[in-house]
């Protein structure tokens, strides 16, 4: 029997702000529920919405957060550790930029920053279990991404050593998630060393085929790379544990292609759009996920170069709801069938 996925959900990170209704977890969950969302994906790096350290230390705080979400009428879909996961592996070229993802006391100290990130990842495993969650979402980080294009030539062994090091860093974390019964759904994303199917396979090999190394499926990143995002589901459906519903468009011309010429988002050939405004075939994606019994959440991630987040969020809940397939336990031609026994089968076959 096929499974109906859950949704609509919404990732809160892009909406968090200093003013109501985006300033507190209580306010933002009520706002999301009012738009029709049934679930919220909570960013563990937006501390005015959610305090991961406090959640790790205090069961009373866990109960408080559960109560806030229940009062608003939403469930927690997953905890997001995207920024902490990014900091598990950082090429020195990105040190200055990525210091902004960490607390001030580790700025300028890559080893301390990484240790902080690993500690955050470990805490998120425990906190996910306290909330009764089976999945979380994150990034792998990147050591080799500055060398994505093979010019100048990459030194022999650079990529092999990159993934060996990723394996060394992530295997203990994945083991901690195994202890809690929680998956890490890595968002396959340019800027990470794991940015497509080939690199995901390399990462899984590096962590010894670890079952907790899963995928947060986001078709927008595949469309912008001109990948077959439907075939990706065919290949890796057994590793997909989370789903970011995000749209994108790719409009190449005589001046720009996939790399988009260092242009601003609004002027790029490859750019993110609000749901329904881009080129992603969501009817086909929801069908594929239903076909493979995906049973977790469909979560809006809003990123658009034109439309406001408020409008994108308001349109996103009904868009997702309209695409969710209520799967059936009946075959369309059941009405034409009849009772069958072995004697009947033998008669049909002339046996």
Polymer length in residues for the chain: 351
User: Does the structure show a pLDDT above 80 at 332?
Assistant: no
Query: What is the pLDDT at residue 38?
Result: 98
Q: Which pLDDT band holds residue 154 (cuts at 50, 70, 90)? A: very high
Q: What is the mean pLDDT of residues 272-297?
A: 98
Q: Which pLDDT band holds residue 2 (cuts at 50, 70, 90)? A: low
Q: Which pLDDT band holds residue 73 (cuts at 50, 70, 90)? A: very high
Q: What is the mean pLDDT of residues 206-233?
A: 98
User: Does the structure show a pLDDT above 60 at 1?
Assistant: no
How far apart are the C-alpha atoms of 260 and 32, rounded to whole Å? Answer: 34
* Chain position carrying tokens 């998630």: 177
Q: Which secondary structure element, helix H or strand E, spans residue 32, and what is its range?
A: helix 25-34
Q: Which pLDDT band holds residue 328 (cuts at 50, 70, 90)? A: confident
In CATH, 6-349 is 3.30.540.10: no
HSE-CB for 142 with a 13 A CA cutoff: 21
Query: How does 210-245 read in b/e, with b if 16+ C-beta sit within 10 Å?
Result: bebbbbbbbbbbbbbbebebeebbeebbebbbbbbb
Q: What is the mean pLDDT of residues 228-244?
A: 98
Tabulate helix, strand, coil % of the chain (nearest 5). 45, 15, 40
Q: Are strands 247-250 and 270-273 parallel, antiparallel or unpaired?
A: antiparallel
- Please say whether the beta carbons of 295 and 6 come within 8 A: yes
Q: What is the mean pLDDT of residues 261-277?
A: 97
User: Does the structure show a pLDDT above 70 at 333?
Assistant: no
- Please say whether the beta carbons of 143 and 89 come within 8 A: yes
Instruction: Provide the mean pLDDT of the chain.
Output: 96
For residue 65, CA distances in Å to 13, 42, 55, 76 come to 17, 11, 9, 10
pLDDT digits (tens, 9 = 90+) for 7-50: 999 999 999 999 999 999 999 999 999 999 999 999 999 999 99
Query: What is the pLDDT at residue 329?
Result: 76
User: Does the structure show a pLDDT above 70 at 334?
Assistant: no
């Amino acid at each position: 029997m096929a499974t109906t996925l859950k949704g609509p959900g919404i990732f809160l990170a892009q909406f968090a702000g200093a003013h109501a209704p985006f300033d507190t977890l209580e306010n933002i969950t009520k706002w999301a529920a009012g738009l029709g969302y049934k679930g919220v994906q909570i960013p563990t790096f937006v501390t005015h919405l959610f305090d991961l350290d406090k959640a790790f230390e205090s069961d009373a705080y866990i109960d408080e957060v559960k109560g806030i979400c229940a009062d608003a009428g939403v469930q927690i879909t997953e905890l997001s550790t995207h920024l902490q996961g990014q900091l598990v592996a950082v090429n020195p070229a990105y040190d200055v930029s990525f210091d902004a993802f960490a607390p001030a006391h580790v700025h300028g100290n890559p080893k301390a920053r990484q240790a902080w990130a690993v500690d955050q990842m470990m805490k998120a495993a425990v906190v996910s279990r306290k909330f009764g969650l089976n999945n979380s979402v994150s990034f792998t980080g990147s050591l080799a991404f500055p060398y994505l294009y093979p010019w100048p030539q990459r030194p022999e062994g650079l990529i092999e050593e990159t993934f060996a090091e990723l394996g060394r860093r992530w295997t203990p974390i994945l083991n901690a998630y195994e202890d809690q019964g929680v998956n890490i759904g890595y968002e396959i994303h340019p800027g990470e060393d794991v940015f497509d199917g080939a690199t995901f396979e390399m990462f899984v090999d590096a962590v010894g085929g670890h079952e907790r190394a899963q995928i947060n499926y986001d078709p927008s990143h595949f469309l912008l790379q001109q990948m077959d995002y439907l075939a990706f589901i065919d290949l890796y459906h057994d590793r997909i544990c989370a789903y970011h519903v995000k749209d994108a468009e790719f409009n190449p011309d005589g001046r720009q292609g996939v790399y988009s010429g260092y242009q601003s988002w609004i002027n790029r050939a490859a750019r993110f759009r609000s749901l329904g405004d881009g080129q992603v075939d969501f009817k086909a994606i929801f069908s594929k996920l239903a076909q493979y019994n995906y049973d977790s959440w469909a979560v809006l991630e809003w990123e658009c170069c034109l439309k406001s987040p408020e409008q994108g969020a308001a349109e996103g809940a009904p868009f997702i709801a309209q695409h969710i397939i209520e799967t059936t336990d009946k075959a369309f031609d059941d009405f034409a069938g009849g009772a069958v026994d072995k004697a009947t089968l033998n008669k049909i076959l002339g046996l």
